[in-house]
Structure 1
Amino acid sequence: MSGWVDLLSESHGIRAIYGEDLPALTSVDLHELVLHRDGPRATLRFDLSQFPKSPPKKWADQGFNVVQVQLTLEDVLHLTIAGWTTRAVLDINVEPTGKVLSLRANNGPVGISIDARWLVLSHLSAYCRASAE
């Protein structure tokens, strides 16, 4: 259930980190949604719910346990945001519809719908989240 990786304009970074066990976009913890007039584009920054089974040595040595990504949708054609909250845990679905990519996330108090021409993994990092969260 990682078809979103196949829709990226460049996917070698995430494939190098996760190998064959690519992460799904289920139960992601959304930190921010930024809209840019240039492009226009929209960037979602969120924590993946799945950490790689064999993380990079640098991540393992530092005790990192969460992967955070930024997905940027470029050449946005349509965008709708309904609701917002201090902690949005969402299931994100990205599917091609003709020459357009449709991102949908509609869980709980937050609903996001974005149609765009390109999906870019604009940033990939890791950090250590305390287990109390």
Structure 2
Amino acid sequence: MKYWNELDGSTLLNKIFSKPIKIGKIALFSLRIENDQPSINLGFDIPEFPDILPEKWKNKGYNTCRIGITCNEISNLKIHNLPTHEIFALEIKNENTHFKLEAKSKSAIMTFSAKFVSLNGPSVYINGPDDYYFGPKMKSKPSLPIIQGLLFTYSFENIRDEERELRIKSTNVNDSAELGKLFDTLTKPEFAEYKQEEREWHINTLKHFLSTDETFESVFYLFDTYFKDEITDKRNFMKVLLDRLIKYNEEIIERDQK
């Protein structure tokens, strides 16, 4: 068996991918064995991401596709070392009366036969750069929710701090110079704690959306801040933020190289 699309239950998969998706590398996240069925359920991420997104999945920052398989009436189960969250090479062979499955990683191997194999999912979610398993092919995609996370410093929902709140309220959020100085005071220390991959993810996200006609309304939707005035030009707000983040990142890189 060569493609996930050949399995029962692949209707949704066929709708959101324009091409067949090969069975191969998986990032295993769950393994459940039921002894009364008997059955095995595997949940995992795949390197590919849908290219035909349903409306409810669009512009949400999703960057990882998760699927799974349910294997019923299993036999000849063999496990060498307990499989953990790592990359496995999965192979499924259709041998007429049953399927033969083998999942192998650097530290573990699992083989078994199953009379029935069906696909679960797919679903999509936002995966941080530290959680990727597929190397360069899984670089973080632009994600507006991470920008909202960075701006949580300015939110009513943040831990109360009178000095910080007064600093925000006293800043003219629509004046680029004042806004830049505020970012230097409140955003720079937090951004400096991020890993290089995370810093680049934020910078590349802003670059990407500023190159489109994005209004950034979704970043501030149901997101109340301590700014006294309404942000009249959200794109300019993001341009100022991007300029500061690039500067901070360059300073951090220069510092780390000394």
Q: TM-score, normalised by structure 2?
A: 0.47
Correspondence for 1:42: 40
Mapped to 2, the partners of 1:53 and 1:123 lie a distance apart of 16
2:16 is the alignment partner of 1:17 = yes
Q: Alignment identity in percent? A: 22
Correspondence for 2:64: 66
Equivalenced residues, count: 131
Structure 2 vs 1, CA of residues 55 and 2 (structure 1 numbering), >3 Å: closer, same or farther? farther
Gaps of 5+ in 1: none
RMSD of equivalent CA atoms? 1.9
Structure 2 vs 1, CA of residues 4 and 126 (structure 1 numbering), >3 Å: closer, same or farther? closer
Choose from 76, 84, 87 the match for 2:85. 87
Mapped to 2, the partners of 1:68 and 1:125 lie a distance apart of 5
Structure 2 vs 1, CA of residues 105 and 129 (structure 1 numbering), >3 Å: closer, same or farther? same
1:2–1:22 CA contact under 8 A, matched in 2: no
Q: Secondary structure at the match of 1:91?
A: strand
1:71–1:119 CA contact under 8 A, matched in 2: yes
Correspondence for 1:117: 115
1:127 is matched by which residue type in structure 2? Answer: Y
| Between structures 1 and 2, the one with greater helix share | 2
Choose from 90, 105, 108 the match for 1:107. 105
Looking at both structures, which has the greater relative contact order when contacts are Cα pairs under 8 Å and sequence separation is at least 6? 1
1:4–1:95 CA contact under 8 A, matched in 2: no
State the Cα deviation string for residues 70-123 of structure 1 (Å, max 9, x = none). Answer: 211011122111113543201111111131101111121121112001111133
Q: TM-score, normalised by structure 1?
A: 0.86
1:9–1:120 CA contact under 8 A, matched in 2: yes
Mapped to 2, the partners of 1:68 and 1:11 lie a distance apart of 13
2:25–2:47 CA contact under 8 A, matched in 1: yes
Gaps of 5+ in 2: 132-258
Q: Secondary structure at the match of 2:56?
A: helix
